Amino acid sequence: MFPGQGSQARGMGGALFEELPELTAMADDVLGYSIADLCRRDVDNVLGRTEYTQPALFVVSVLSYLDRQRREPVQADLFAGHSLGEYTALYAAGALDFVAALRLVALRGRLMATMTGGGMAAVVGMAADDVRSALDGARLDTLDLANLNTHDQVVISGPVDAIRAAGPVLTAAGASAYTPLRVSGAFHSRYMQPVSAAFAEELSRVDFAPLQRPVIANCTGLPYVDGEVRQMLAAQLVEPVRWERSVRYLVELGVDTIEEVGPGRVLTRLVEKIRSRPAPSATPSRPTPDRGRKVVASAGTTLGSAEFRQAYGLRHAYVCGSMYRGIASTDLVIRACRAGVLAFFGAGGLPAQHVADAVARIRAEVGEQAVFGVSMVHDPILPDNEQRLVETLLATGVPVIEASAFVKVTPALVRYRLAGLARAADGSTVVGNRIIAKLSRPEVAEGFLTPAPQRIVDALLASGAITREQAGLAADVPMADDICVEGDCGGRTDRRGFLVLLPAIRALGARLSAAHGYPRPVRVGAAGGIGTPQAAAAAFLLGADFIVTGSINLCTAESGTSAVVKDMLQRIDVQDTDYAPAGDMFELGASVQVLRRGVFFPARARKLHELYRRFDSLDDIDAATRQQIEERYFRRTFDEVWQETRAYLAAHDTRAVAQAETSPKHKMALVFRWYLGHSERAAMEGREADRLDFQVHCGPALGAFNQWVTGTELERWQDRHVDDIAEKIMVGAAGYLRRRYDELGLAGDQP
């Protein structure tokens, strides 16, 4: 690991300049002055100025690294650097040669030096969320968290006046030390945006070679991925340095030797401090006398079920739920997975080959061992689609699925579940294929809380879809590992809140788990309406083992829907959704929750369902109403819609065509359902001509989220990323719970 700004000192580099004269000469040529004179004598007293500090530190760190390799040629497994040190790490990993890297560093230093009027300060003795809460409480929201160095050492950044004002506030809030830093600008904050934009232009002209060894990115605390170096280096200027997360990642990875190379030992001390304290997930459930309540859930990583986090290898008990037709995209899954968040690719409505390609891409980006999932949506119209999807899931080895919209357990679900069962050496049952079932009705939950129906097991065994051993093990396990209680959410909904559903289904799960003798109860989480830390806190307080978000991820950079839709969604409030007939259950009158603001779709879809209920055929509809629908809703005739629909069904479901030819009522339903599908596709593709007919599945949680992030860095959807949202909601939920315990006088009983 390589140090950043603050580790410089007069005399650094010593004899290295003479020992490595070729690189020293290259540096002098790039910089236009003697790097050796600057570092060793600094007669003009400029070493502390950013434009000189950064290239000097980079050169000395590189020389130190090369000297170390010359003396002891041991290849590191990974590289990391703190802020500026990340450039040395990238050089050591082969991304850049010395001259190219030094030119970038010199430009970075010059650009950052132009941003005056800002400052930074180190805060010791407070966790990051405590610092943020204290600043917000004092209305010092112009300050950003710049360096998250350890669990109780944070650097803040912002306008000089606000830095001065924050000292007394944070000292009163519990900081043991508050030290303004000798810097010229508000580094790693929103105020570096002009520098980031200018630097990004230069980065676009630089050729980066593939990394020969992994490098930990400051922005994420996780390894770089090929193709992200430019993006990360530009973002690093405005994003906090997540140093503690970086070190935690290395420790969890099994790294046993971490060596600092370059001037000073600042990073070595930080690493020792981080390693001396258990990871947040291992924090005792009761506060210890010496640390007090401050450590409890300070990063949100202790909320929910530790068993759930362990089962899926997660940082948080937090899941990004699936969204139809790849709106929960490969990019969304990849970004979440890298941050230790479970996410599901939205396979509903997509061909099996498309799903297989998506799984292959995700694996190529995150590795074979990473855990992610794929959604499986019940398809009452084309049930064979379920079987085809399961064949793809089994062929590609997808380890977990999110089962949604099922009213009962189907053969396809049972096949997926049982195909992953095996007998361990100790006689226990090993579950290879896991299911998280999203539901909102106790009778549906019962089907997932009990073993697979015997009649389906027998049929699968007879067809050869499962082995005799798997059939015999079916009675040992419930159909689902986890139940997600789905409240009032986007898409199909029963309009019930999780405040009612969660306790009821938790009780049902505990009872059935005990009755069937499972080794552990089926875990129960919550979804629907979770768009703020307060809503997440409410779910965890009710006993949720995990939470699932959906609508708030719809309006992110990674979402697979169109930019036109995201622009619309970014402005909605909690009252801007409505209910409309569901396309796949149109005849039954089932509802989906959709966007209302700026569109006519909910009213028009309800009108079509009303006509379906009133009339027995399209021919029965009066001429004026027919004209209105054809000209305003469909913009084509009923006959044209039917011919398009018939052609599609002829290739996918010939039975539906035959039924429509003999049942005018069924034909009418198919024609009206065309509008629902057309409106959904138009929204995903962002067709401006069809904007008023956009069907966008969305719940009020997004409206609440929009209000929460107004005026922050997450206000624009282009700046919203699923991993950042997860972190902010979980950290915010932990902080909110702590404050509410204090306000209610329950601090001593806090879990």
The helix/strand count (H/E) of the chain reads as 31, 17
Amino acid identity of residue 185, one-letter, is G
Written as six digits, the tokens of 236 are 């690093």
Under 8 Å between Cβ of 665 and 684 = no
Per-state percent for the chain, helix, strand, coil, to nearest 5: 50, 10, 40
If one counts every other C-beta atom within 10 angstroms of the C-beta of residue 231, the result is 15
Report the DSSP beta bridge partners of residue 180.
Answer: 121
Name the residues annotated as catalytic: 83, 188
Question: What angle, 0 to 180 degrees and rounded to 10, lies between the N-to-C axes of helices 85-92 and 98-113?
Answer: 170
Written as six digits, the tokens of 412 are 């396809």
Cα–Cα distance list, 158 to 427, 562, 696 (Å): 60, 35, 39
Under 8 Å between Cβ of 206 and 234 = no
- Length reported for the chain: 751
How many Cα atoms within 13 Å fall on the side-chain side of residue 540?
30
Report the DSSP beta bridge partners of residue 436.
Answer: 402, 482
Per DSSP, the three-state class of 597 is coil
How many Cα atoms within 13 Å fall on the side-chain side of residue 65?
26
If one counts every other C-beta atom within 10 angstroms of the C-beta of residue 744, the result is 10
H or E stretch covering 577: strand 577-581
Alpha-carbon span 186 to 238, nearest angstrom: 9
Four-residue CA torsion sign, 537, 538, 543, 546: negative
Under 8 Å between Cβ of 671 and 638 = yes
**Neighbouring residues of 395: CB distance < 8 A, sequence distance ≥ 6:** 356
Alpha-carbon span 306 to 540, nearest angstrom: 13
If one counts every other C-beta atom within 10 angstroms of the C-beta of residue 305, the result is 18
H or E stretch covering 168: helix 160-173
What are residue 297's phi and psi, to 5 degrees?
A: 55, 30
Alpha-carbon span 340 to 360, nearest angstrom: 19
**Neighbouring residues of 464: CB distance < 8 A, sequence distance ≥ 6:** none
Angle at 565 between CA 559 and CA 566, to 5 degrees: 55
Amino acid identity of residue 429, one-letter, is T
622 burial (CB, 10 Å; 0-12 / 13-18 / 19+) is exposed
Under 8 Å between Cβ of 512 and 534 = no
Q: H helices of 188-318, where?
A: 193-203, 229-236, 243-253, 266-276, 306-312
**Neighbouring residues of 467: CB distance < 8 A, sequence distance ≥ 6:** 461
Among the listed residues 361, 367, 357, 362, the one whose alpha carbon sits nearest the alpha carbon of residue 395: 357
Written as six digits, the tokens of 645 are 């629909």
What are residue 180's phi and psi, to 5 degrees?
A: -60, 140
